[in-house]
Amino acid sequence: MSLAWTNPSDVTGVTVVATTGQTAPPSPTSGTVVYDGTGSQTVHSALDNGTTYSYSVFAYDAERNYSEAVTATATPVALKVQTRLEASASPSAITAGNAVVITGQLFNSATNAPIANASVTMVSRPANSQGDLGWRTATVASTDANGRVPFSLAPSENVQVKLEHTGGQSVASTATVTVQVRPDVSAVVPDTSIRLGKGVYITGRVTPSHAGQKAMLHYNGSGSWKKIQSTTLADDGSFGFGTGPSFSGVHGYRVFVPADADHAEGMSQQINVRVHAAAITAVRYDPAGDDLRNLNGEQATVRNTGGVTINLAGWRLRNRSWLPAYQLVPGARVVIHSGAGKTGAGHVYLNSTFEVWPNKPGTVARLYDDDNALVSSFKY
């Protein structure tokens, strides 16, 4: 406590005494002497904050005759700490339905030291709110030894988050951070491997629904994305697209929803559709000798005419003869024998005990994929 007074011109010295409470000491010998000398100021230290102290100042002459007291009363309080509050979001953008962690960290702005055991409140509101309205209290927590305090939040739209520290022994401070929320865009196809000529049908849903807004189908066939279709979202956020690949290969699709006032842009995972193509190029239906004794002489040749490798497992010839697993790379041929043998190196064996191909010129040989779709016809 700093004390100051004005001395008379003929003063020899001054005695300052103190006591606790509202009543000042009535005499120089009452209370605690905090100063005795010829000065006009002193500091009373080691005081308790919140305790009231009363002081009396007595001037005296050379004979130690004391004047009437000049009194003062004061209550010391702790200086409030200047604070700095920082906020961060991890991640800074999420998909609707997921959570984000908001981390605050409180510092003494004068020393840059973290402040522990301090109360911090998190409030949030839609990011497009105006003025200082719309804040909702979410939760209150205390900082740890490093001055940090984490909060978890699962917003359904773009949100502005404010952290507030209003501790009694420190100056209030705030920090804000904005979290972008993407709508959840789910998209599926019935089959990710189809024959050339079959359509690709993509269906899905946007959550939150965004009824009446646009959804766009993006296509990636050569390393870059481009919009090929758009549609209006239904009341429940559902959508559907249909397209037909014009060549064999891997075709990439995704569904894109533009940003609006409430949400960041949303996008589905990439869907890759493998479009295959194959053709029967030859059939030997009447090999030399007895047909049943030379089933391996009865054979069909199939060529991969497309741009993706085909696994022949589940494919069929003549609607009844199932093919074993065999990787037929683009441009390659495989000879399919009716009889028994070890599949590999350009040859596949059906292990049939009867003729597969009728000895009837004009018969149509057919090849079906594992979706029972007709891939190739060959008249022999």
Lookup result for tokens 């005296």: 60
Angstrom distances, CA of residue 96 to CA of 74, 87, 155, 157, 187: 58, 21, 7, 7, 15
pLDDT at res. 227: 96
Class of domain 277-379 (CATH, top level):
mainly beta
pLDDT value at position 81?
Answer: 87
* Multiple choice CATH, 2-74, 2.40.10, 2.60.120, 2.60.40, 2.40.160: 2.60.40
Burial, 322: exposed, middle or buried (Cβ in 10 Å; 0-12, 13-18, 19+)? middle
Q: How far apart are CA 185 and CA 202, in angstroms?
A: 12
- SS3 percent helix, strand, coil of the chain, rounded to 5, is 0, 50, 50
- Does pTM surpass 0.95? no
The pLDDT value recorded for residue 171 is: 83
* d(C-alpha 352, C-alpha 349), whole Å: 8
Nearest alpha carbon to residue 332 among 344, 320, 341, 340:
344
- Give domain limits for the chain: 2-74, 83-182, 184-275, 277-379
Residue 80: its pLDDT value, please? Answer: 83
Tell me how far CA of residue 269 lies from CA of 47, 87, 216, 248, 255, in angstroms: 67, 31, 13, 22, 8
pLDDT per position in the chain (380 positions), as tens?
Answer: 999 999 998 999 999 999 999 999 999 999 999 999 999 999 999 999 999 999 999 999 999 999 999 999 999 988 788 999 999 999 999 999 999 999 999 999 999 999 999 999 999 999 999 888 889 887 999 999 999 999 999 999 999 999 999 877 778 899 999 999 999 999 999 999 999 999 999 999 999 999 999 999 999 977 899 999 999 999 999 999 999 999 999 999 999 999 999 999 999 999 999 999 999 999 999 998 887 889 999 999 999 999 999 999 999 998 778 999 999 999 999 999 999 999 999 999 999 999 999 999 999 999 999 989 999 999 99
Whether the upstream peptide bond of residue 8 has omega within 30° of 0, thus cis, is no
Options 2.60.40.10, 2.60.120.200, 1.10.10.10, 1.10.240.10; CATH of 184-275: 2.60.40.10
* CATH fold for domain 83-182: Immunoglobulin-like (2.60.40)
Rounded CA separation 312/333 (Å): 12
